[in-house]
Amino acid sequence: MRVLLIDDHPLILAALQTVIQGLGEDVQVLGADSAAQARDTLKARQDFDLVLLDLNLGDASGFDVLEEFRALYPSLPVVVISASDRASDVIRAIDQGAMGFIPKRTSNDVLAQALKLVMSGGIYVPPMSLGSEAPEPVEMAVHEAGPVTMADKLQQVHALASQAGYQTTTGLEGLQLTPRQTDVLALLLQGKPNKIIARELGVSVETIKDHVAAVLKALGVSSRTQAVLAVGQMVQRQPNAAFTTFR
């Protein structure tokens, strides 16, 4: 896995490079200390698997860089890694297409699991409150055989949403979603756009739009990001949970 790490603080850049390279023998990390250097690096080579982006860069706003990279390299996952863990920053980053938001105070173990989650197609979201411990990302596994039940689907949604780190007693079952709407919700929580969801489920984009609208209405929210956070508030966090991706 080849990672581009963008951070303008030399000590933090070096420390993060060391930590990320320690995740595995096949991990290679290239550092960029400015938005300009990151742009040049991505223009020069197209073999990166992941971008880790700090929000506070000396020559540009991290949010502007995030929006730029998502437009220029839509298939390249970008994860924000920041000293901030404010809810407003998390929500804005996910709204702009980030596949995760990792506070720099996160432990090395959680950082490793968060990156694995993102590379598996999920989204990592930290707790929405300062001073609390970051939740453990959910380990993804592929369901290769046997029928997938509604319980399996709800288990996937529960596990995906558990990353928000909230604990309440309300269950997703109370939403009374149809099996297809539950499929759509699970894929929404993986950050997949309508076109990809339509392709995976074998239906039209217009049909997916209708399902997304129904899911948002059931959750009482108006955007995908709000849906991720809303579902996170509805389930209990389950450390080391595993879920099954259905196809």
Is residue 80 within 8 A of residue 100, CB to CB? The reply is: yes
Record the pTM. Answer: 0.60
d(CA 179, CA 151): 10
DSSP H or E stretch at residue 225:
helix 224-234
Give me the domains of the chain, ranges plus CATH numbers. 2-137 (3.40.50.2300), 140-245 (1.10.10.10)
d(CA 114, CA 119): 9
Query: Which DSSP string corresponds to 94-162?
Result: HHTT-SEEEETTS-HHHHHHHHHHHHTT--B---SSTTSPPPPPPEEEE--SSPPPHHHHHHHHHHHHG
The tens digit of pLDDT for each residue in 167-192 reads 333 456 667 888 898 889 888 877 77
pLDDT of residue 136: 45
The tens digit of pLDDT for each residue in 180-233 reads 988 898 888 777 788 889 999 999 999 999 999 998 888 888 887 777 777 765
Q: What is the phi/psi pair of residue 138, to 5°? A: -90, 135
pLDDT of residue 37: 95
195 versus 240: the higher-pLDDT residue is 195
The tens digit of pLDDT for each residue in 108-161 reads 888 888 888 788 777 788 765 433 444 444 443 333 344 444 445 455 555 555
pLDDT of residue 110: 84
| CA torsion, ordered 7, 10, 12, 13, to nearest 10 deg | 50
Is residue 19 within 8 A of residue 108, CB to CB? The reply is: yes
Is the CA virtual torsion 42, 61, 69, 72 positive or negative? negative
End-to-end Cα distance, the chain: 25
Residues found in the chain? 247
pLDDT of residue 177: 85
The tens digit of pLDDT for each residue in 53-72 reads 999 898 999 999 999 998 89
| CA torsion, ordered 243, 139, 212, 223, to nearest 10 deg | 140
pLDDT of residue 64: 94
